[in-house]
Structure formats: structure tokens, C-alpha cells
Amino acid sequence: MPFFIPTLLAVFAASTFLVGRFIQLAPRLGLIDRPNARSSHTRETPRGGGVVFVVLWAILQATLPYFYPESTYPLLILLPGALGVAVVGLIDDAYGLSAKSRAAVHLAASMLTVLLLGGVESLDIGTRLLPLGLLLGSLATGLLISWSINLYNFMDGIDGFAGTEAIFVFGSGGAFLWHAGAVALGISALILAATVAGFFVWNRPQAKIFMGDVGSGFLGFMGLAFAVIGEKYYSVPVLIWVILYSVFWVDASLTLIRRISRGESWYTAHRTHAYQKLRHQLGWSLEKILKGTLCLNGLLAVIAYWSMTHRQFLTLGCLLAFGLVGGTYAMISRAAANTRIGINGVFH
């Protein structure tokens, strides 16, 4: 499709322009992030910029069935849950919501998506389908989508980090879907990557705007929603997306486990993610963290491609990805524990 690259460039340009205009509008809407003791930024910054890529993607998503009528239902499955998560995120950005209220909407959106999907009964592990049963498989999938929404919010803590990850995950995942014959769904993921790339222009260090919960929750939802739809309709295993997504998946999950094991409140702000330790205890620059993450993601892309083309090693590929990211997490944690740089970046 020779017109597709120009289309992505046009989407990128539109997103870049609209985010620039939103930066001017956000303060008038009260969408300002004020730094506190746990923040990684030191100045007031507009937030809620994720609404731009949410709306732009949703408009384009709704037009895709016109070009790919055979894919209408798989494409439209994404919209209700995605928009529900985005709306509650925008309300939270503007007015604040309790953690319980947000969690209830996230779980409802996740389970609605699973319901529209017709439920999940198995997991593709490469050599065979692992039977889960309709009830267990559907419940587990809904809970995992809900967890993905929250983990993306947890990982959105420094300039450009969440945007960089989204561009990689949806760009790579979209390419895998396209290659597997899921052209319309692949285009949808690539369009999302292009819209986030336009946002990244303004969010890269030093950020002029943050995506807010409206953006991070939406991206977390999409990270697994694309995966489960891809496996259900097009035989692209969920585990391929898990491999691509494992920088966020492993960091957020291990950090959560460690905090719960120490009796800490899991939902309160903190600085114990690996990227936060790199920034605040090891003194890495934001640019260095982003470049390091890109290198790690490059290795994950190789593992994902190998796993996709050698399905008999899909489970092994997933274990390799988790081992790579988990090992990196352990090295960062060990270095942070031994460093003489304190939590505020000063020697003590």
C-alpha cells in the first residue's frame, strides 16, 4: 500500500500540531501538574495531553471498517473499553477520582472487552493451545487488561518514557499483525504509534506536556486489547505482545510484589521503579534512560521476531525476555542499593 507511509506521516504531523495547541489550552482547563516531593519534574507542566492521541486514534479507528469491512467487528471491539478508560482518566486528571472508582471503571472496561470478544478459552503457547476454560480464561484476561492499565500509569513517571515505550510496542506489534495478515488491526496499531510519536515531540525531555491518566490508562488498555484480539481472530499469540511489552510488564510487576512484601501501600506514589532508581539514585540523565530502554527494546524485538517465526520456541522466547528484563532490573536495584547518591540525587 504505497499511500500508507504518507498517511502515517500525516497522522504524525496532525498529532504534533494538535498537541502543540493543547499545551496552550490545558492551563485554562485546569490541567496542570504541580510538582511534589515524589515528582520527577520541578516545574508546573500542562497535563492531559494524551486526550489528543486518544481522540485522533478513535476518529481514524472508526473510519477503518469503511476500507476493511471484513474486519469491522474486531476493529470496533476496541472502542468501548478504550474510550471508557480514557474518559475516566480525563476526569481524574481534571478533578481527581478515588483509586477505587478508577479501578472499578478499569475492570468494567476490561471485562466488557472480553465479553465483546466472546470470551477467552485458551492461550497460544506456540506448540499448542493451552486450555484455560471459558470462565477462568475470560476472568484472567479481564484482570490482566485491568492490571495493564494500571501498570502503564505507574510507569509514566519521567519525560518521554511512556511515549517511547508506546511507539515501540504498537509500532512493532502493528508490524507483526500486518505480517500475519491482520492488516486492518495492524494499521490501527501503527496509527496509534504515529499519534503517540506526535505527542512525544512535546513530551521528550524536557517535557512541555504530560499525557496524564487519560493517555497512560488508554495505552495500558490498548497494550493487551490488541494482543487478545490478535490471538482470537488472527492467531498472533498474546505472548508476542508480552515479549514486546516486558520492560513495563516486568518492572511494574516486580516493583508491586516487592512493595506488597514489605507491607507498603501499592497505589501510593514512590520512587522504586527501576527507571526511577536510574534517575534519582544512580544519577542517569533522562536521555540516557531513554536510550538504554531503546537498546533493551531492540533486543526484545529480536526475541519477538524469533519467537514469531519459530513458534515452537514461543514460550522459551517469553522466558528469555523476562530473564533479560528481570536481570536488568536486578542489576539496577543492586547498584542503587550500593550507591552513595541519595533519593534526592545528593551524596550522603
Q: What is the pLDDT of residues 193-247, one digit of tens each?
A: 999 999 999 999 999 999 999 999 999 999 999 999 999 999 999 999 999 999 9
Position 269 scores a pLDDT of 65
Q: Does residue 333 sit within a domain?
A: yes
How far, in Å, CA of 311 to CA of 129, rounded? 12
- What does the pLDDT read at residue 42? 60
- 236 in any annotated domain: yes
**Predicted pLDDT at 216:** 96
Q: How far is CA 36 from CA 44, 90, 228, in A?
A: 10, 21, 38
- pLDDT of the residue at 3: 63
Specify the pLDDT at position 157.
Answer: 82
Residue 179 lies in a domain: yes
Model pLDDT, residue 39: 53
Structure confidence at residue 344 (pLDDT)? 43
Supply the range of the domain harboring residue 252: 4-32+43-338
- The answer as to whether 346 is a domain residue is no
In terms of Cα–Cα distance, which of 142, 53, 48 is closest to 103? 142
Q: What is the distance between the alpha carbons of residues 46 and 32, in angstroms, rounded to a whole number?
A: 4
According to the model, what pLDDT value does residue 346 have? 36
pLDDT of residue 342: 45
- For residue 347, is it within any domain? no
CA–CA gap between residue 65 and residue 61 (Å, rounded): 8
Q: How many Å separate Cα 26 from the centre of its chain? A: 23
In the predicted model, residues of the chain with pLDDT beneath 50 are 341-348
Which of 162, 141, 143, 160 shows the shortest CA–CA distance to 152? 162
Q: Which pLDDT score is estimated for 51?
A: 97
Residue 13 in domain = yes
pLDDT at 343: 43
- What pLDDT was estimated at residue 279? 87
Predicted pLDDT of residue 219 = 97
**Contact criterion met (CB below 8 Å) for 180 and 234:** yes
pTM recorded for the entire structure: 0.92
Give me the phi and psi of 345, to 5 degrees please.
85, 20
In a domain, 187, yes or no: yes
Whether 38 maps to a domain, the answer reads no
Nearest to 214 by CA among 22, 79, 17, 52: 52
Q: Calculate helix-pair angle for 286-309, 161-179, nearest 10 degrees.
A: 20
- How many domains are there within the chain? 1
